[in-house]
Structure 1
């Protein structure tokens, strides 16, 4: 029997290393736009201004590309073996989100999508466009509609076959391809993801306030992190996997097959002492080709200093103290906070000489507040 178009595309997707492929129409995210509007109206996007700027195009595939008729939704597994939360007990080391421990997934995923898009075009005709999460696409509602999984109570996609560890990409096409059935919600009464959140970022099941999410705070947020969240961050220096890691559906998760997503040595529970010594050039070299580099050294160092302050490791005091003279006020402010946690007497001894000459009002406020 001759292969169907969908089975041919699925075969090509598997050959390219994708772990899941489903199909839906370009009109398949009805209702998601209203949820986005409410999210933005409540200001829950924080300083991710691009969400509001692209809202109209984000609400539906055809708003982004009016000629689109069908969408091929792909999943690429990035799972790891072992307990992803074990690192949280190693207070003198930094916890990096699993997705950021290997090569930048945008590069890996986009290369695969482009290769598959060429085959989709050859098989189905028409025009094609590929999208990863840097584009204004509501990829999780789209993936749920295509049957790749469902959006769990933590708002992330969950797959019955692969658990929580999935990168999502899509291929829009002007060709008509029969859609798959959407996936049903299988969360049931479980609320582990909601209860584990260190900062209480979930305002209700299926609703998140990004402004309180550690992933947002450590990656997207450009400014100073509010004091009320710092202790809860623990040693999480880039992202947070807690709500994903506790999902019971991860019993079906598998280790990623894609070699480029394998953990890099420099991202494997790095010692805070090593990270505290990084200047801009060393930071860029160490994290070249990873998602971490895009955040920039100063924001990353802000996160590392918060982890140092939470570590109870007094051997870090000289390294923290050196950051009091950093060029970045973002870094200096968190150095004050970290030193106050690790060595309050030393902080008080330095207060007079440092606070009076501090040009940045936020940093000066950290000095005065810590010494009060």
Structure 2
């Protein structure tokens, strides 16, 4: 087998990269260890930045975002007795869309099938070879059990934090922070109790009211690391959400409903540099992970792929290496900006049990909510800086 770009990973980063490369006249083959159904059903991010929507629309992938997504002008910041709306459009001239990663994945799968993109699902034993040469290749076992070799000019590692691509960069510098709490997330078949997301600080811990559609709510609770979802009954979950989100305050009510999914997500920040090693390029979670508080994970992957697709098209079609040589540095400027914002949101909203920390957090929340300068800083980062930042 031979192609120009071997893409490891068929999540949003990998499929979007194959789509953008095809539009620029570059062939690719995508390899994925999971089944198509598994990848399509993974519940992940739900917020698209302004720039992400612009890129998806420009690539012909924005039709359902406009018709089925939920356009949001901002968020609510809350602490006991207070709830403040931050209008991103008024503050920064940009907005966000609630449109789940599962929906983005559906759009990408449909588009790649329409273009007859070659995607190999349920492969195993994926290994990268000779990545610093001009003839790299990938070996893998296909779904039938046969050993395959894929020769290429470039390998794009879009295979997340557990894939082989990250580990094929031998001299990488790694930065990591593990937070002392996790998110307990639920999906519930009930209409959202809010028109826009509520980020709530509470002495019991952080809570978030998000949504996936007009009929499905997505909610989160801060819990200790190692929490077993089975240890929380449905009644206990709704009672704690009601407490932290302020049920009954100023007439607001949290509407409970049937819970269809429970999961616990550990919180950590991770950045690996460089994002290039020879003819191997990393994008998305293969190079960096952020806590979900700032809604940056999927958007960072989209931004990486936007830069990488331009670099590879310039290199493989126009024989211009300048963008490829700058890719890691260009991508990491945005990576670190988003990493900082995600850390800032996380540490402002999650409780530690220390009364001193709590007073500092409340002071910061009051400043952000009442200062136009503070609110604008949050709005600019949350709604998303330009991809070329």
- What is the TM-score with the length of structure 2 in the denominator? 0.23
Structure number with the higher strand fraction is 2
Richer in helix (by share): 1
| TM-score normalised per structure 1 | 0.24
